[in-house]
């Protein structure tokens, strides 16, 4: 296991120098944030990012994410060009020696919350989701009303996309995912890149849109779509853990035994009602994620990939990007390494702190 940390590039309020000081963190998870969705990522831009990360004494371990163009998810006739461009971006990653790609296949919206600063009893704030509150969000005004939403769509753009998805139910979305992977996964294999789909967050339909990567059966169906080790998953405990029917340790074990977990996102959630949860501190006892059981499954199945603490609360007066402050994620990184060391006896090669 290699402990990593997400970094949003030079504009991230958390500097790489601070990440370097979190004991045991040796890898960075990042992306190019100024490329339009669907365009090819250039080797030069990726090399610049890699060099910046290297210069801080860290390594560029994972690309999270190259976004999948909506035309691919919608199965439009224009998709082939975007698929070719996606493959070219994967080859560019490989050219700068980044070997893990996290991506998702959620229609229009990526991770979604209804409150970015829910006050917890200890004075910290956390991201929260309540399905009733979601139903009150007015999409006729574009994505402007959505808390923390990064991809800005105007009202007409969003309306057109939502209308296009009326013909795409879960089964069609599976077909479109399959079409995408049949073309991209073999290319990723050739490039030596492991693809790792991120589960849908939250793992249920929102705004009437289909969401399909929601449970263990879906993740196994996904890896069966194209049977190559390059076609794998990001095991995200927080996304999958929002649905109490998901038995996370047994899911991790089954996927791990097949060698298809290429990346682990570890965070905790407290489920407070049907389709209602808030994020909580990483250790198991503060929420509903059995973190020890998950790490044990990863460990037993020989997980060697990158892991990162996922969203943290805002604590100690920090102000920052929702879910991505420094302090609570750093606490998470330490907790996860403690658990891992307890299971492993010692840290293996990749865990070493960079010199
Ligand atoms: C949220 C993240 C997601 C993730 C994408 C992967 O904090 O886990 O935005 O990066 O879904 O494509």
Which residue, by CA, sits nearest to atom 12 of ligand 1? 103
Burial classification of residue 57, based on how many CB atoms lie within 10 Å of its CB (0-12 exposed, 13-18 middle, 19 or more buried): middle
- pLDDT per 10-residue tile (average), the chain, 355 residues: 97 97 98 96 98 98 97 98 98 98 96 95 97 91 74 87 96 98 98 98 96 98 97 98 98 98 98 98 98 97 97 96 96 97 70 40
Distance 286 CA to ligand 1 centre (A): 22
* All residues at 6 or more sequence positions from 48 whose CB lies less than 8 Å from its CB, including other chains: none
Q: What is the pLDDT of residue 149?
A: 65
- For the beta carbon of residue 110, count every other beta carbon within 10 angstroms: 14
Beta strand pairing call for 276-280 and 125-130: antiparallel
Catalytic residues: 198, 236, 265, 310-311, 324
Pocket mutation for ligand 1, best pick of 9, 65, 73, 237 (most atoms within 8 Å of C-beta): 65
Distance 322 CA to ligand 1 centre (A): 13
Inter-CA distances, 333 with 24, 27, 135, 312, Å: 8, 12, 34, 10
Query: Which atom belonging to ligand 1 lies closest to the Cα atom of 67?
Result: 12
Nearest to 214 by CA among 246, 190, 179, 183: 246
Give domain limits for the chain: 2-107+165-351
Query: Which atom belonging to ligand 1 lies closest to the Cα atom of 265?
Result: 8
Nearest to 297 by CA among 286, 307, 288: 307
Distance 272 CA to ligand 1 centre (A): 22
**CATH top-level class of 2-107+165-351:** alpha beta
Asked if residue 100 lies in contact with residue 196, where contact means CB atoms within 8 angstroms, the answer is yes
Q: What is the pLDDT of residue 348?
A: 54
DSSP state string for 269-324: EEEEETTEEEEE-SSGGGSS--HHHHHHHHHHTT--SEEEE----B-TT---STT-
Q: What is the pLDDT of residue 352?
A: 41
* Ligand 1 binding pocket, CB closer than 6 Å: 64-65, 102-104, 110-111, 198, 265, 311, 323
């Amino acid at each position: 296991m290699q402990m990593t940390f997400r970094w949003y590039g030079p504009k991230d309020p958390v500097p790489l120098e601070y990440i370097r000081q979190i004991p045991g963190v040796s890898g960075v998870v990042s992306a190019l944030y100024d490329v339009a969705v669907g365009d090819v990522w250039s080797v030069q831009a990726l090399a610049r990012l890699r060099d910046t990360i290297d210069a801080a004494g860290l390594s560029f371990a994972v690309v999270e994410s190259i976004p999948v163009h909506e035309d691919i998810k919608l199965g439009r006739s224009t998709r082939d060009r975007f698929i070719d461009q996606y493959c070219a971006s994967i080859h560019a990653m490989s050219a700068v020696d980044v070997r893990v790609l996290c991506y998702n296949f959620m229609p229009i919206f990526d991770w979604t919350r209804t409150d970015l600063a829910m006050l917890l009893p200890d004075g910290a704030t956390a991201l929260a989701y309540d399905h009733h509150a979601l139903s009150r969000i007015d999409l006729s005004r574009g994505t402007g009303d959505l808390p923390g939403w990064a991809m800005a769509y105007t009202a007409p753009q969003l309306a057109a996309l939502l209308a296009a998805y009326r013909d795409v139910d879960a089964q069609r979305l599976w077909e479109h995912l399959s079409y995408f992977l049949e073309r991209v996964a073999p290319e990723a294999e050739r490039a030596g890149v492991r693809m790792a789909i991120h589960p849908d967050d939250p793992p249920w339909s929102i705004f009437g849109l289909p969401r399909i990567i929601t449970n263990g059966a879906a993740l196994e169906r996904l890896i069966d779509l194209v049977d190559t080790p390059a076609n794998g998953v990001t095991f995200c405990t927080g996304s999958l853990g929002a649905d109490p029917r998901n038995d996370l340790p047994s899911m991790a074990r089954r996927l791990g035994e097949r060698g298809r977990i290429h990346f682990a996102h570890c965070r905790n959630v407290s489920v407070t009602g049907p389709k209602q949860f808030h994020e909580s501190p990483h250790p198991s006892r503060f929420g509903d994620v059995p973190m020890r059981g998950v790490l044990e499954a990863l460990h037993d199945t020989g997980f060697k990939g990158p892991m990162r603490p996922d969203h943290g609360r805002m604590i100690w007066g920090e102000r920052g990007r929702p879910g991505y402050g420094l302090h609570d994620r750093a606490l998470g990184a330490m907790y996860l390494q403690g658990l891992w060391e307890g299971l492993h006896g010692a840290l293996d090669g990749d865990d070493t702190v960079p010199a």
